[in-house]
Chain A
Amino acid sequence: MGLDYKWVFWNTHKKAYDRLIVSGMVIYLVLFFTISFLTNPEIIAETVIIRAFGSLAIIMLHIILAIGPLTRLNTKFLPVLYNRRHLGVSMFLAALIHGIFAIIHFHALGNVNPIYSLFTSNMDYGSLTNFPFQVLGFFALLILFVMASTSHDFFLHNLSAKTWKRLHMMVYLAYALVILHVFLGAFQQETSVFTTATLFLGWLTLVSLHLVAAFKESKVDRFVAEKNTEGWHKVCPPEEIEESRAKIFTVKGERVAIFKYDGKLSAIHNVCKHQGGPLGEGKIVDGCVTCPWHGYQYLPHNGQSPPPFTEKVKTYALKIEKGMVYINPKAFPEGTAIPPISSS
């Protein structure tokens, strides 16, 4: 498989995805504007712009946050995850337009700097219902900005996957800030059971999805292997693993994927070097373990990406005894070749 070939189809999928994002956003904005001006003829354009982009951003944020647990529950959602960063950047742009318009509308043309005004024009920091809600939106926007601007793979390579992941976990902090921004802000004045209930429902859906997905994964982590005398962990009979697929086990607190292919078994660390995708939910394609998230590939017997790529993951030794697979929990350094064992 040549690199050029990869690039071309990668792009057709991405283009379709981007077209869908843009159409969705346009449909939302057109409908919001139409409804606003038809049902509220005296309203002014600035207010409608601020509200249209603010509400669009929060809805997109909900969709983005739902994709993670959905893919963990059903891997067929993976294509949506592939380009989630495009969705993230688009959501940031919507939030940015909302924030900039709000800052211009409410804070510009005064005799103090608009950003200074944002923090000082309402000083009721001690009150809940009178809290300066725009400050919450400002910090949420700042987090979304950092995330959008580091979403490119360039930063992934230069920040280390762990730092990048931690950085991007801050989306949950941003979400919390946005929810507070809306409940302590707009909802204190524009009180409607329907908008409040809608956002509450969104929050509830996200929490449930995350809980269900976490419960599913905790089953893997709760697995306690029987140990034999030399410290090898007994995991399962080889028939339980499907051809070209893997089973994931947690040994010594690390998730390990045991793959079956061409009548052989190999074990590698479950965490992809790209963005930490679960390799054990991937598949052997063209002889390589292929990550379900973005298709990074690793050779099962040595955990190395085929040249010209240089990613490497840890490998583990396996053995079969009395029809049972055993794994040695002591990992070998990344990229160490371990001869596969026969699966029969």
Chain B
Amino acid sequence: MKRSDEFYIGYQKEVGPGTKKLLKRFIWITVLILLTGAAVFGFFQRPAVNSTFDFGNPTQVSGVYHESPYPMLRVPLAENEFKEIVLLGFGKSGPNPFLKDLRERKGDLNGKQLTIEGQLIYYNGRTLLEIDDSQKVMVSGTGAYEQPKSMGTRTLEGEIIDPKCYFGVMKPGYGKIHRSCAALCILGGVPPVLVTKEENNREVYFLLTDVKGNPIHQDILPYIGQPSRLTGQVKELGEWRIMQIDVSQIEKLKKESSIY
């Protein structure tokens, strides 16, 4: 068996014809691998939903502030028609750091009419508002707001998400990939929300509180972004629901999340 006498040396200009042929083939195969790779990895991504974050496009919103128990704004849309807008802060934080100044000057904000300039986040009929500057929150009077109405005890399966990302800032804003971000958001003061699907495949959203109705953040971190089963008192507040749960009773389910 006679070995081909071609021998490539990097600092010499000549490249043998056999080597050249093989290199050409190698380059074409590599290009083919790259094209196939881009096609496969690009094409087989889960479709993102049409949630929206009005980044860089602030809106002024006026409504009655209340903590039920998370900071919300009851905004009139038409006569006897209201939207309950959940308030959020900049980055992975809740609204409280941006309301601190105002609280120090005006005391309890519950029932105060606030005008806020912030960036809207919306999806599936729910709206949230990101406040990125405490100077853009003003008090302009007082107003009435509703107490949540009780709907009894329920047991539900779904996934706990952070509503800031889920309703628009990130895609995907749920599940394993997004889990650490959701944990940071909720730790930073964003209310935890349970997403479930009703029989008609419509999504329903529950703001989660502890059994006494107080906000929960740190304690719920181990349960975020995974399918789980929760039991608690359910209340209705406009287009949102509230569920009062005992965090230690959350059951992790070993199956794919129903919201994918």
B3 touches A242 (CB 8 A): yes
User: In the complex, what residue of chain B is closest to A295 when comparing beta carbons?
Assistant: B9
Complex partner residue of B48 from A44, A79, A109, A195, CB under 8 angstroms: A44
Q: Is B185 at the interface (CB under 8 A from chain A)?
A: yes
Q: How far is the CB of A295 from chain B (nearest CB, A)?
A: 4
**How far apart sit A36 and B43, CA to CA, in the bound complex (Å)?**
6
Q: How far is the CB of A8 from chain B (nearest CB, A)?
A: 8
Q: How far is the CB of B34 from chain A (nearest CB, A)?
A: 5
Q: How far is the CB of A205 from chain B (nearest CB, A)?
A: 10
Q: Identify the stretch in B17-25, B71-79, B194-202 within 8 Å (CB) of chain A at 4 or more residues.
A: B17-25
**How far apart sit A313 and B223, CA to CA, in the bound complex (Å)?**
62
Residues of chain B lying within 8 A (CB to CB) of residue A132: 180
Q: Find the residue from A34, A79, A117, A124 having the highest chain B CB count within 10 A.
A: A79
Residues of chain A lying within 8 A (CB to CB) of residue B226: 130
Complex partner residue of A10 from B2, B8, B10, B91, CB under 8 angstroms: B10
Complex partner residue of B10 from A33, A107, A117, A295, CB under 8 angstroms: A295
Give the interface size bracket for A toward B: 35 or more
B42 touches A80 (CB 8 A): no
Complex partner residue of B31 from A24, A117, A118, A188, CB under 8 angstroms: A24
User: In the complex, what residue of chain B is closest to A119 when comparing beta carbons?
Assistant: B180
Complex partner residue of A42 from B34, B36, B171, CB under 8 angstroms: B171
Complex partner residue of B91 from A43, A47, A52, A110, CB under 8 angstroms: A110
Residues of chain B lying within 8 A (CB to CB) of residue A130: 176, 226
Q: Find the residue from B23, B38, B177, B185 having the highest chain A CB count within 10 A.
A: B38
Q: Is B108 at the interface (CB under 8 A from chain A)?
A: no
A109 touches B90 (CB 8 A): yes
A110-B92, A190-B177, A242-B3 are contacts. A40–B48 as well, Cβ < 8 Å? yes
Q: How far is the CB of A22 from chain B (nearest CB, A)?
A: 12
A35-B42, A110-B187, A194-B44 are contacts. A79–B15 as well, Cβ < 8 Å? yes
CB contact list, B98-124 vs A, under 8 A: none
**How far apart sit A117 and B38, CA to CA, in the bound complex (Å)?**
31
Q: Is A154 at the interface (CB under 8 A from chain B)?
A: no
**How far apart sit A289 and B214, CA to CA, in the bound complex (Å)?**
80
A-B contact count (CB 8 A): 190
- Contact pattern, B 26-52, Cβ under 8 Å of A = 1, otherwise 0: 110011011111111111111111110
User: In the complex, what residue of chain A is closest to B257 when comparing beta carbons?
Assistant: A189
B7 touches A294 (CB 8 A): no
Q: Find the residue from B12, B19, B45 having the highest chain A CB count within 10 A.
A: B45
B178 touches A106 (CB 8 A): yes
- Contact pattern, B 208-223, Cβ under 8 Å of A = 1, otherwise 0: 0000000000000110
CB contact list, A125-177 vs B, under 8 A: 129-130, 132-134
Q: Is B188 at the interface (CB under 8 A from chain A)?
A: yes
Q: Find the residue from B23, B43, B91, B221 having the highest chain A CB count within 10 A.
A: B43
Q: Identify the stretch in A70-78, A216-224, A302-310, A325-333 within 8 Å (CB) of chain B at 4 or more residues.
A: A70-78
Q: Is B154 at the interface (CB under 8 A from chain A)?
A: no
User: In the complex, what residue of chain B is closest to A29 when comparing beta carbons?
Assistant: B38
- Contact pattern, B 172-183, Cβ under 8 Å of A = 1, otherwise 0: 100111111101
**How far apart sit A36 and B2, CA to CA, in the bound complex (Å)?**
51
**How far apart sit A63 and B10, CA to CA, in the bound complex (Å)?**
20
A76 touches B260 (CB 8 A): no
B184 touches A117 (CB 8 A): yes
Residues of chain B lying within 8 A (CB to CB) of residue A20: 27
A32 touches B41 (CB 8 A): yes
**How far apart sit A124 and B183, CA to CA, in the bound complex (Å)?**
13
Q: How far is the CB of A20 from chain B (nearest CB, A)?
A: 7
B184 touches A121 (CB 8 A): yes
Complex partner residue of A111 from B9, B34, B92, CB under 8 angstroms: B92
A77 touches B26 (CB 8 A): yes
A32 touches B42 (CB 8 A): yes
Q: Is B138 at the interface (CB under 8 A from chain A)?
A: no
A74 touches B22 (CB 8 A): yes
A28 touches B37 (CB 8 A): yes
Q: How far is the CB of B93 from chain A (nearest CB, A)?
A: 7
**How far apart sit A13 and B15, CA to CA, in the bound complex (Å)?**
10
A110 touches B185 (CB 8 A): yes
Residues of chain A lying within 8 A (CB to CB) of residue B7: 282-283, 285, 290, 292
Complex partner residue of B180 from A43, A77, A122, A198, CB under 8 angstroms: A122
Complex partner residue of B19 from A27, A35, A79, A283, CB under 8 angstroms: A79
Q: Is A245 at the interface (CB under 8 A from chain B)?
A: yes
Other A-B contacts than A40-B45, A111-B93, A121-B221, 18 sampled, CB-CB below 8 A, are: A9-B12, A24-B30, A28-B34, A28-B35, A59-B37, A76-B8, A76-B16, A105-B170, A121-B180, A124-B222, A132-B180, A133-B176, A185-B176, A189-B46, A198-B40, A242-B2, A245-B3, A292-B7
Question: Top 5 nearest A-B pairs by Cβ distance?
Answer: A109-B91, A35-B42, A121-B180, A110-B184, A192-B44
- B residues adjacent to A (C-beta < 8 A): 2-13, 15-16, 18-19, 22-23, 26-27, 30-31, 33-51, 90-93, 170-172, 175-181, 183-185, 187-188, 221-222, 226, 260
A–B Cβ pairs within 8 angstroms, 11 of them: A9-B11, A13-B11, A35-B43, A42-B48, A51-B41, A55-B38, A105-B181, A117-B180, A123-B222, A134-B180, A188-B176
- A residues adjacent to B (C-beta < 8 A): 5-7, 9-10, 12-14, 20, 24, 27-29, 31-36, 39-40, 42-44, 46-47, 51-52, 55-56, 59, 63, 74, 76-80, 82-83, 105-112, 117-118, 121-124, 129-130, 132-134, 185-186, 188-190, 192, 194-195, 198, 242, 244-245, 282-283, 285, 290, 292, 294-295
